[in-house]
Structure 1
Amino acid sequence: MTTRTEYRMRIGDMWVEAADGRRFETTNPFTGQAWASVPDAGPEDVDRAVEAATAAMTGEWGQATGFERARLMRKLADVVERDAEELAVLESTDNGKLIRETSGQARALPDWLRYFAGIADKLQGEVIPAQNPDFLIYTRHEPVGVVGAIVPWNSPLSLLMWKLAPLLAAGCALVVKPSEYTPVTALELARRAEEAGLPPGVLNVVTGQSNELGRALVAHPGVRQVAFTGSPGVGIKVAQGAAAHLARTTLELGGKSAQVVFPDADLEAAVNGIIAGIFAASGQTCVAGSRLVVHADVEEALLERLVARARTIALGDPLDPSSEMGPLANESQLKTVTGFVERAIADGARVAHGGGAPALGGLFYQPTIVTDVRPDMEIAQEEIFGPVLSVLRFRTEDEAIRIANATRYGLGAGVWTNDVRKAHRVAHQLRAGNVWINAYRMVAPNVPFGGNGHSGWGRESGIDAVREYTDTKAVWVDLAGNTRDPFRLN
């Protein structure tokens, strides 16, 4: 009989059940067995969480200086660093990602907290020269207030931290709804926030499996900003729901990122970058390099190398360090990926490698390379969120840029060339929020991350991320004391 861990939600200073007592189970994608039970919250629980966050903003947390916020953030970083491997195992168990990936992500979490802690005590305004010398004018950067966050299942802990760290630096409080597929690590992070001494209500976690829960959070009048990571379709609904009560939004949505390979590129390096860009995390990442845009002169040579490498990728238990690719996160995602490839074949594309479930079955899908893809095909236009690489051919630089930009998304892009002029020239013309030259899928806490078009708006990481969670206030001070009655002439 499988042992299940029972969790409660974190609201204010308490670990609580859902208001109506309902619970649901989260399943290990590799074993197919339920391994944890969490509360199945509803709108009433959102009310409680927003109330707790609001109380934090008007209480101890709202009065804390940037220096105090920084101290608490560094303490939380120490606790997370201590428990990084435990958090990594929990994440792999919940979403099926390789332990080698979740371990790296978990070990990086303290970097985000420490970087933004360094900003918390430096959010200074500026003095603005006045037309009238009798006035002093200056600005302040003040916290937006209560933030509602919705995070997906593919990298739940990292994507939560990308929101939490900058909003803590800004002085905001958070109510987060993790994905119903991966609720555990958000609750575990809240436990460590309590240990680190974050005041009650600063980090609240509500778990649930109904769409109603997310809608209630987005529409809550006490939520002043919504930070969402997910699909464009849901992102549009989030933006509409938040706009109904004039809450701000930051949206980190999907991608259909191109890796452009020119004939002078180092092909071995390009193979490594392309493999990492599409088959890492089983392709379940918003910035997956799912379109290979390759020059006709090197297409055959590059494909030969890619197929040879794809054949050697070891699929297996995510908790086994020797595994190189794990299962997809859930049954729905497996059906989605399978459907995309089947329709591409029917539309005239050819599978150079993969194209189905491997012998070990379960939720695994083979690393797949699809050739003879036209730019207008569904497989070249829609985000698949799986280990499927579409190959498109070009002959001129202008054609490469046109193909790479021929999508409604604008999140990431890679450029592979040894010509430094061409590298910068092409990077400047690609419509993407993140461009890597002779590399791919690199992130850092001090570098802004985000997209445009259907990839969303706003930035996570870097100083830009803190600005997303602040309001700028202008203060005018009369220094002369000679303000007169406006209705008297003398």
Structure 2
Amino acid sequence: MVRGALSGGGSGSRSGRSRGRRGTGREPVRGSVRGARSGSLSGRPSPAAAMSTLLINQERYAWLRELGLQEENPGVYNGRWGAAGRCGVVTTYCPANNEPIASVRQVSADYEETVKKAKEAWKVWADIPAPKRGEIVRQIGDALRQKIKVLGSLVSLEMGKIFVEGVGEVQEYVDVCDYAVGLSRMIGGPILPSERPGHALIEQWNPVGLVGVITAFNFPVAVYGWNSAIAMICGNACLCVLKLAIISGMKLIIAKVLEDNKLPGAICSLVCGGADIGTAMAKDERMDLLSFTGSTKVGKQVALMVQERFGRSLLELGGNNAIIVFEDADLNLVIPSALFAAVGTAGQRCTTARRLFLHESIHDEVVTKLAKAYAQVRIGDPWDSDTLYGPLHTKEAVKMFLDAVEQAKQQGGSVVCGGKVINRPGNYVEPTIVTGLPHNAPIVHTETFAPILYVLKFKEEEEVFAWNNEVKQGLSSSIFTKDLGRIFRWLGPKGSDCGIVNVNIPTSGAEIGGAFGGEKHTGGGRESGSDSWKLYMRRSTCTINYSKDLPLAQGIKFQ
């Protein structure tokens, strides 16, 4: 069973007008996680009482209904909404106060019907010229853009991101739609010179067929967008699986666009399910490509099941990312970069900086300055415009944070700041800096999805480049230096072995136009820009003989 593979979400809307405090697009819709009524009751609440505690039923969260959300939302979309094979209900909670937002029906029997409908819808979609497919994706992006503020509010509410990050995530989906529109007129292969007279070699690219997308909780909208927008312009149908209510709203937007263009809704299907659905997708021969974003542990299970049937997988897994600061670095860039990379999204990005290597000559100075910067981080309500740092996603994440801090202490580390749970409702922990550990300490080599930064000393370039590469993952890395030779050594074959190799910027903050992904236990997959579109297509080399002769291989001749 694929455990934990399906925690994630997305958002969208078919109708409704977002309402802001100032209408600027930079403020959330009305409502706040502060002062919300508690949903914890003694004993087992009655169904009516349970429904009354849902945030969606509170006046300050009435805007959720503008997104088409209900107390209990259907868990399948394959051209119609439903849940014939219902096998439970998943309730989604607000991490800032741990109160229930709404629920989604999980399904099982609907999976088979949904795959069949998606494969049928693909036959229609694949026949549409790529530029016309790009026009549909453009309309999806425009529809998302019109709802960006209310969708960002929902991301913030359900994932716990600060509001500006919630909006930014929806913007990533919009941006990749814009990118995909241009790409739809460029996908294809070259005409190659043949060594035989009267012959031509053509590289032909066709869609793989059905692309399954299992996204993650921390970037549910963006990851779905990176995959679906590119997959769609390549001519594929998509089936997304995750567990948050946010995706139901987002599917309403996409469904409306497809309906308006008289296209099958199953081109973009949705199933809400648990490990049984994830396992079924991984083993399903009809799943022509399975894109999985999540932990390395679960990713290995997915990869093995897909490989057993010689299927295709696109894996975007964990990262134990490092920033290296040399003695000639501009500390005015280093401090905010390290801060943003380590505490952004409360340390729950796959590109979060978890290791900070400092040259021994500047170690103490940087630690002092960084600790002062940490002390100024504004922690609070994700919807408050002054907040920089919100909660962890779940109570389990808080426990993992505390366990990691304790292990760091036991292995010889010193907590410079943070290390504790914050005494307030929700899953808040203090952003934490740990010093004094060796580069190869077990906890340093462990990816903890929390705001813990291990600060480590180094002396020489060669050793620190090796330390950057010694962890199992290979997602993102960055150095801060003014030495041009060092920069190009960092970019070269003996430099960073990561998929993202930065200079004088943080480990996080990748742009749409570049391919996103990493090496080693990060999975090797690439999403978003550059030539990542090739992963969503199959390539054929075609030899065309337009002559009257038949030259054979290896000089063979028939008499």
Query: TM-score range, shorter-chain basis?
Result: over 0.9
Name the aligned partner's letter for residue 122 of structure 2: M
Q: Give the alignment of 1:90-489 within 5 angstroms.
A: 90-178=154-242, 180=243, 183-197=244-258, 199-208=264-273, 210-360=274-424, 362-428=426-492, 429-440=495-506, 441-480=508-547
Aligned mate of 1:24, from 85, 90, 100: 90
Moved more, 220-229 or 124-133: 124-133
Q: Give the alignment of 1:46-85 within 5 angstroms.
A: 46-58=111-123, 60-85=124-149
Query: Could you tell me how far 1:11 is from its partner in structure 2?
Result: 2.8
Distance in 2 (CA, whole Å) between partners of 1:108 and 1:388 is 26
Name the aligned partner's letter for residue 108 of structure 1: E
What's the secondary structure of 1:188's corresponding residue?
helix
Per-residue Cα deviation, 1:10-68 (whole angstroms, up to 9, x for no partner): 432101125136322111111211111111122x322222112101111x212110111
What's the secondary structure of 2:382's corresponding residue?
coil
Moved more, 117-126 or 389-398: 117-126
Per-residue Cα deviation, 1:131-168 (whole angstroms, up to 9, x for no partner): 33243332211001101111110111111111111111
Name the aligned partner's letter for residue 444 of structure 2: A
What's the secondary structure of 1:457's corresponding residue?
coil
Does the CA-based 8 Å contact 2:97-2:427 persist in structure 1? no
Distance in 2 (CA, whole Å) between partners of 1:120 and 1:23 is 39
Query: Could you tell me how far 1:387 is from its partner in structure 2?
Result: 0.4
What's the secondary structure of 2:361's corresponding residue?
helix
Query: Could you tell me how far 1:217 is from its partner in structure 2?
Result: 1.3
What's the secondary structure of 1:290's corresponding residue?
strand
Aligned mate of 1:2, from 39, 53, 56: 53
Does the CA-based 8 Å contact 1:147-1:172 persist in structure 2? yes
Distance in 1 (CA, whole Å) between partners of 2:131 and 2:550 is 37
- Stretches of structure 1 that go unaligned for 5 or more consecutive residues are none
Name the aligned partner's letter for residue 56 of structure 1: A
Per-residue Cα deviation, 1:392-419 (whole angstroms, up to 9, x for no partner): 1001111221221221111001111122
Distance in 1 (CA, whole Å) between partners of 2:220 and 2:526 is 17
Distance in 1 (CA, whole Å) between partners of 2:475 and 2:503 is 15
What's the secondary structure of 1:136's corresponding residue?
strand
Distance in 2 (CA, whole Å) between partners of 1:185 and 1:420 is 46
TM-score (norm 1): 0.95
Per-residue Cα deviation, 1:207-238 (whole angstroms, up to 9, x for no partner): 12x31221111111210111011111111111
Moved more, 65-74 or 117-126: 117-126
What's the secondary structure of 1:379's corresponding residue?
coil
Name the aligned partner's letter for residue 362 of structure 2: V
TM-score (norm 2): 0.83
> Aligned pairs, how many?
484
Does the CA-based 8 Å contact 2:398-2:421 persist in structure 1? no
Query: Could you tell me how far 1:482 is from its partner in structure 2?
Result: 6.2
Name the aligned partner's letter for residue 257 of structure 2: A
Q: What is the Cα-based RMSD across aligned positions, in Å?
A: 2.0
1:36 and 2:102 matched: yes
Does the CA-based 8 Å contact 1:11-1:48 persist in structure 2? no
Distance in 2 (CA, whole Å) between partners of 1:68 and 1:212 is 36
What's the secondary structure of 1:70's corresponding residue?
helix
Query: Could you tell me how far 1:481 is from its partner in structure 2?
Result: 5.4
Distance in 1 (CA, whole Å) between partners of 2:371 and 2:237 is 48
What's the secondary structure of 1:22's corresponding residue?
strand
Does the CA-based 8 Å contact 1:69-1:171 persist in structure 2? yes
Number of the residue aligned with 2:19 = none
Aligned sequence identity (%) = 27
Distance in 1 (CA, whole Å) between partners of 2:372 and 2:309 is 54
Query: Could you tell me how far 1:383 is from its partner in structure 2?
Result: 0.4
- Stretches of structure 2 that go unaligned for 5 or more consecutive residues are 1-51, 57-69, 552-556
Distance in 1 (CA, whole Å) between partners of 2:342 and 2:471 is 17
Distance in 1 (CA, whole Å) between partners of 2:220 and 2:325 is 31
Does the CA-based 8 Å contact 2:75-2:106 persist in structure 1? no
Does the CA-based 8 Å contact 2:144-2:174 persist in structure 1? yes
Name the aligned partner's letter for residue 150 of structure 1: I
Distance in 2 (CA, whole Å) between partners of 1:425 and 1:18 is 58
Query: Could you tell me how far 1:75 is from its partner in structure 2?
Result: 0.7
Distance in 1 (CA, whole Å) between partners of 2:414 and 2:327 is 23
Does the CA-based 8 Å contact 1:415-1:427 persist in structure 2? no
* Structure 1 stretches of at least 4 aligned residues deviating more than 4 Å after TM superposition: 481-484
Distance in 2 (CA, whole Å) between partners of 1:426 and 1:132 is 44
Does the CA-based 8 Å contact 2:94-2:101 persist in structure 1? yes
1:11 and 2:52 matched: no
Indicate how the Cα distance of structure 1 residues 471 and 91 shifts in structure 2: closer, same or farther if over 3 A, else same: same
Query: Could you tell me how far 1:126 is from its partner in structure 2?
Result: 2.2
Distance in 1 (CA, whole Å) between partners of 2:266 and 2:116 is 8
Does the CA-based 8 Å contact 2:480-2:503 persist in structure 1? yes
Does the CA-based 8 Å contact 2:98-2:425 persist in structure 1? no
Indicate how the Cα distance of structure 1 residues 16 and 270 shifts in structure 2: closer, same or farther if over 3 A, else same: same
Distance in 1 (CA, whole Å) between partners of 2:204 and 2:247 is 32
